[in-house]
Structure 1
Amino acid sequence: MAVDFKLPHNFEISIEGIYKKDYKPLVADNKTIYYDGKKTIQLSKNDVRKVYDAYQKENCFYLTNAGSGSYYTSINLNVKKEFNKNFDASVNFTYSNAKIINDGSSTQLSALYNFGAPSVNGVNEHELGYANYISPYRVLANVGYKFYYGKRETWGTHINLIYDGSQLGFFNDGSGFYMASRYSYLLNDNFVNDRASSNLMYIPATKDELTFIANSNVSAEQQREAFWNFVEQDSYLSKHKGEYAKRNGAVMPWHHQFDIHINEEYNFSIKKRPQCFEFGLDIINVTNLICSKWGNYMVVNTTNPLSYHKDSNAYTFNTENKKTFSKYEDLKSTYQIIFNLKYKF
């Protein structure tokens, strides 16, 4: 549903809302595994999960329909203002949210099962989670100025300042870095035996809830203290103590980017046919050109902060992990300057 308004003083406002509901979406099952209704594993005092058995060694993946909780919703607000024939501005705000059973990140059924839906109690449970490709908030703004000069105004200059702000960053899933708006906190392995990827992490309610063991000359108490400091500084973990981490429940920090576009044009005619030469200059992430600390994407330092050791029923924590995010050292975090030349006829 959308509504457009034209207001005095050359204001234009557009409001759009979208809601989509999926009934019985496509999901991947593994028919080789089954739960007998009794077998469990206790990873800590308040973390008890199902454990699966298998009919055979080989997997039998099955595409089926299940669940009805998947949805997508968004609200978009756009405001435009034309100050005069040379100067205009616009700002666009979008709120989006989506929950799905499977991320649908692959066209292969095995990959869809293995990596598309990290879970607490097994992929066959079809647990609902957030979509990692949906940024909860995004702001786009543009300020444009244009003017013509010279004999018969054959020369023209167009200048645009563009702002793009959203919750977007990078994480490493073990095979490489990926851009996303959301990410999951996982354990170091799969402990429910459903033959899928690592399970979602349980976030302890108190500092003393988990049992730690000494690791690499770091005592259990030192790891406990370091892990709790990590939890407290993390905006997602600190707000969800005593809960299982939701799939893609954690959100990336805001990324702010300013771009400048300058276009110079020369208009003329040949045999009464309009012609135009254009020279353009684009500076992508211009604030990074001014200061290297600005306009950077952030990367999640670890999505597997805890390692569970089944043989000792205890955890270890890498005490080098002190902060959730660090600067993403890549071309995407730096400025770019692009020149272009066009001839229109």
Structure 2
Amino acid sequence: GANQARLNSEVGANNGVILANTSKKGYAFNTTVGLSVAQRRGFYGGLFYTYNNVKSISDNPGSNAGSAWGFASVNNANDQILYPSQYAVPHRIMGNISYRQEYANHLATTISLYYDGSHQGRYTYAYSGDINKDGISGDLLYVPNNVNNLTFATELRDNDGNITYSATQEEQRKAFDDYINNDSYLKDRRGKYAERNGGLMPWLNRWDARVLQDVYVNAGGRRHSLQISLDIQNLGNLINSDWGISKRLTGNQNPLNVVSVSDDGVPTFTMNKSGDKFVSSKDITSNLSTVSTTWSMLLGVRYIF
């Protein structure tokens, strides 16, 4: 039970010590390379790539000490292992290209296209329930070499004796094995624990466009322009409703439910279901269609002098 949870004696019970416990283990490496092209025959733009490799013991993902440290996805209360940072994705590509043409003595048109591509964040593969008996759920998932070594409950009942879950051990073992094999990250982690923040959200390609139309005159030693702008945010989604859509987690990143743990530490699981089907690693995310994630247009007018 929860009485088995222990404090890290190296940290101590003093809040000042805890706040100062930054450790020397964490590190961050960031680099950006790119190419910018100055205006040439009306064209200009740039292309940039950023690589991040950030590891930390804790990202303090909470509003207070309890939520930041108490609910971290760890194997035990003294876990001091480096994991990928929650707030850093490894790759990002950004680019833009523009074309400007002045004509008819008083007119100018500029067309610009912007690109931003990256993974949408990180997530953790964990158990549903408390497998290490520290009183806190969210323990990191162990990825077995052989799922036949796991014990699954074949039936669960509520307090009234009604069956709430039913599946054979063979069905659940196959479902969990498929879950692992269909995920490239988990497949490479067989025989190990999944890392905290080890999962990467899908790559998102985001395209934006801008069209500027200038009407200008030169007077009094300066240029006076009336500029009409049209901004199209998430152009890809305007073209195809399946493009440029952000993703959100469905909860399927927690495939196994911990039913019980014996006195000698042997757990019994059930393979989680979504409706009548076992959860799949192919369905860890779903579309997040909101005003901020779908396409939009903005028309503007300004006077420049």
TM class by shorter-chain length?
Answer: 0.7 to 0.9
User: Of residues 181, 195, 199 in structure 2, which corresponds to 1:246?
Assistant: 195
Q: 2:23 matched to which residue of 1? A: 67
Q: Is the 8 A contact 2:130 2:258 kept in 1?
A: no
The corresponding residue for 1:177 is none
CA separation of 1:326 and 1:192: change in aligned 2, threshold 3 A: closer
What residue number does 1:166 align with? 118
1:132 aligned counterpart, secondary structure: coil
1:63 is paired with a residue whose SS is helix
C-alpha separation in 2, matches of 1:219 and 1:192: 25
- Distance in 1 (CA, whole Å) between partners of 2:134 and 2:48 is 44
Query: Would the aligned equivalents of 1:298 and 1:325 in 2 still touch at CA under 8 Å?
Result: no
Distance verdict in 2 for CA 1:212–1:252, change over 3 Å: same
Q: Does 1:337 align with 2:287?
A: no
Work out which of the residue numbers 53, 59, 76 in structure 2 matches 1:121. 76
User: Are residues 1:318 and 2:286 paired?
Assistant: no
Retained in 2: the 8 A contact 1:114–1:197?
Answer: no
* Equivalent residue runs for 1:252-267 within 5 Å: 252-267=201-216
Contact 1:97 1:136 in 2 (8 A): yes
Q: 1:296 offset after TM fit, Å?
A: 2.4
| 3-state SS of 2:269 partner | strand
From the superposition, tell whether residues 127 and 275 of structure 1 become closer, same or farther in structure 2 (CA, over 3 Å): same
Q: Partner residue of 1:172?
A: none
Amino acid at match of 2:30: S
Equivalent-residue separation in structure 2 for 1:198 and 1:206 (angstroms): 23
Percent identity, aligned pairs only, is 29
The question of whether the paired residues in 2 share the 8 Å contact of 1:114 and 1:195 is answered with no
User: What are the Cα deviations for residues 306-325 of structure 1, in whole angstroms up to 9, with x where unaligned?
Assistant: 11112563111124312244
* C-alpha distance in 1 between matches for 2:40 and 2:220: 33
For the residues of structure 1 that align with 2:116 and 2:46, how far apart are their CA atoms?
Answer: 12
Q: Which amino acid aligns with 2:110?
A: H
* Partner in structure 1 of residue 152 of structure 2: 212
Deviates more, 1:83-92 or 1:226-235: 83-92
Query: What is the one-letter code of the residue matched to 2:288?
Result: E
Corresponding position: 1:100 with 2:52 = no
Normalising by the residue count of structure 1, what TM-score does the alignment of the two structures yield? 0.72
**Is 1:132 matched with 2:82?**
no
Letter in 2 for 1:314: T
Per the alignment, in what secondary structure is the counterpart of residue 103 of structure 1?
coil
What's the CA shift for 1:186?
1.2
SS at match of 1:236: helix
Match of 2:66 among 106, 110, 114: 110
Partner Cα separation in structure 1 for residue 6 and residue 79 of structure 2: 15
Shift of residue 269 of structure 1? 5.8
Which residue matches 2:258? 308
Scaled by the length of structure 2, the TM-score of the pair is 0.81
Of residues 173, 182, 200 in structure 1, which corresponds to 2:140? 200
Q: Per-residue displacement from partner, 1:61-120 (whole Å, max 9, x unpaired)?
A: 6434153210010121111234614112311011111001111233522222124x3211
1:287 positional shift: 1.7
**Counterpart in the other structure of 2:107:** 155
Alpha-carbon displacement from aligned partner over 1:109-141 (angstroms, at most 9, x marks no partner): 2222124x321122x333221112111111111
Structure 1 residue 189: Cα displacement: 2.6
In structure 2, C-alpha distance between the alignment counterparts of 1:209 and 1:342, rounded to whole Å: 69
Over 3 Å counting, the alpha-carbon distance change for 1:105 and 1:53 in structure 2 is closer
The alpha-carbon deviation at position 286 of structure 1 amounts to 1.2
